Homo-oligomer: A and B are copies of this chain.
């Protein structure tokens, strides 16, 4: 049964358990499923049948049924409740030719057998580290992937730190305990091995990782890099659990956090190993949770967290299973997860989902789009604060009575900025004349109604036209617009405001006054895979609006292009070119670059800002997701190698587009030359 269904995470989470091979697989299944687990992890091969005879079909096509119980279970059980485990003796890269040959044949055979059974996933054993990089293993896995349509392969790997980080730690805490911890696995970085293997296997969508959770966890950045990879499962040995006073298995704070992260990122948890906590059979009182422990029962904890109450009855036969306390603890951790703010829950559905950026100049927006925008209270409060400050600067207190300030909202939409501006005027007791300029006829209807309802007919003039064509009866003191896209200038705010600049008096104020885009290199295997699945060049050279979720930033964002309004440069030139050097500390180890995340910072007026740049993000503002510029091919970045990236903003007669490229540590082709795959129409 699932750990619980929680709509705030978009899906249920499941937990599996490793079973040591028993002859009665059907009975074992029954027992573990009753205990609460959703699936079992079981050897593909019966004990005593591990090593097939040497005389093998050379292509591994003829599979001998290594599990005799095939007929004891239905296809649905094989497909839905069993993850197969490939034999761990297999060593395709052994220096002994005979063992290597037998291993290759056995691996091919077990994978064919699993595919025949219709398993959803198979766990591949960790290659022998002493042979360094297991390339024959990569060859067999890659060849197998070519023949699979849906069965996933999960490679079991240890969770290690990058070598440079290990050294650093060992220097810092030169204690015997530290020397025995995760850093003892010498300088071999399994993440680097994974990157090579994944590239050799062409980043197959069916290939993933299952990480073994160690007793001593690596640093957070070392874990974070795995989340941007296709991490499918955590293998959690019972030996990692500690014991609370009452004898129940619990996890350390750090491990609890790791599991929370796993749950939040859709990573499954599989319990492995023998039961080590023999809890006195004392139900119906469930064990108290570990730390923090305000709730005294699992059911209460679950209820408090808004989850379902545990659906098992007190005398549930599975409840007396020796692994039951572990399962209950996993449940407890899942159910007490903080679902986040309401807005975060709304956004959950957009995680790692590619959206085309808006083209507001070419297209008229739909009413629903306006409505979504208008929900962002923070954004309009910022605008109001900016107009407020501008009015105070523009009109001294002693002139407040006699001076009427002319304010134009260009691109007024359904009127929220008109409302904010008038609110600012009221608060500052300044007199205002507002022109609301909007090209979308449907939006105009909304403004008209708003003006009528509020009785602003005297104050507000509605102008139904494109701001670039309008001949105003007078010039403006303040020009207000909200034309920024996820990357700042990408919805052509610069071109629009340059065109509208003639509406402004000399010395007049533009809100926003300036904006700067930011770019950061990211690992995001999931998004890259989604882009690739379009199977054409265009989609590989198009930026997307994305709520990044399973990603990892390889270096902090850096500023790219800045635009200032009113534009002092005449004639204006909105072409831009930027070369960015992203430093990467050696401790971070090898990195995989799938593309770039884009943000912006904007100054509305003086110290009133609107930012999506993560370090300065305006709190509680949610109008913009970041933008994602993909790379056609992922690039592997050696540890410590700086990344040099180029970004161009190019302006043609009828369109504006970006081009981007990497030149170091290795060059890639310039993406989207001439705007061939993506542009914004003027």
Contact = CB atoms under 8 A, between A and B. Distances in A.
Residue in A61, A133, A667 whose Cβ sees the most chain B Cβ within 10 Å? A667
Interface residues of A, number: 50
Interface stretch (A141-149, A248-256, A279-287, A607-615): A141-149
Interface in A649-670: 650-653, 659, 661, 663, 665-670
A650 to B, nearest CB: 8
Contacts of A579: 135
Contacts of A139: 577, 646, 648, 650, 659, 670, 673
Contacts of A143: 650, 659, 673-674
Contacts of A663: 133, 135, 196, 200
Contact of A142 (B58, B136, B201, B673): B673
B575 A200 contact: no
B571 A670 contact: no
A77 interface: no
Contact of A58 (B58, B136, B651): B651
Interface string A625-647: 00000000100101000000010
B652 A59 contact: yes
Interface string A125-145: 000000001011011001101
A659 B669 CA distance: 26
A579 B93 CA distance: 11
A123 to B, nearest CB: 21
Contacts of A651: 58-59
Contacts of A138: 661, 670
A113 B147 CA distance: 53
Contacts of A133: 663
Contacts of A145: 673
A195 B101 CA distance: 41
A257 interface: no
Contacts of A673: 139, 142-143, 145-146
A200 B636 contact: no
Contacts of A636: 666-667
A142 B666 contact: no
A676 interface: yes
A562 to B, nearest CB: 13
A651 B199 CA distance: 24
A317 B335 CA distance: 98
A229 B368 CA distance: 56
Nearest to A654: B59
Contact of A200 (B104, B638, B667): B667
B667 A136 contact: no
A136 B674 contact: no
Interface string A184-201: 000000000001100111
A190 to B, nearest CB: 15
A55 interface: yes
Interface string A82-124: 0000000000000000001100100000000000000000000
Interface in A581-605: none
A577 B668 CA distance: 31
A573 interface: yes
Contacts of A659: 139, 143
A27 interface: no
Contacts of A648: 136, 139
A637 to B, nearest CB: 10
A646 B57 contact: no
Nearest to A635: B666
Nearest to A200: B670
Contacts of A577: 100, 135-136, 139
Nearest to A579: B135
Contacts of A136: 577, 648
A59 B659 CA distance: 14
Interface in A535-565: none
A202 interface: yes
Nearest to A669: B202
Contacts of A201: 669-670
Contacts of A571: 55
A423 to B, nearest CB: 39
Contact of A669 (B57, B199, B638): B199
A428 to B, nearest CB: 39
Interface in A37-73: 55, 57-59, 61
Contacts of A653: 57-59, 61
Contacts of A652: 58-59, 61
29 contacts: A55-B571, A58-B573, A58-B652, A59-B652, A61-B653, A101-B573, A101-B575, A104-B575, A135-B579, A135-B646, A135-B661, A138-B661, A138-B670, A139-B650, A139-B670, A142-B670, A142-B673, A143-B650, A143-B674, A146-B674, A199-B668, A199-B669, A200-B661, A200-B668, A200-B669, A201-B669, A636-B666, A636-B667, A666-B666
User: Would you list the 10 A-B pairs with minimal beta carbon distance, nearest first?
Assistant: A59-B652, A199-B667, A202-B669, A196-B667, A58-B651, A146-B674, A143-B674, A146-B673, A142-B670, A143-B673
Given A146-B676, A200-B663, 12 more contacts: A55-B571, A59-B652, A59-B653, A138-B670, A139-B650, A139-B659, A143-B659, A143-B674, A145-B673, A147-B674, A199-B666, A638-B665
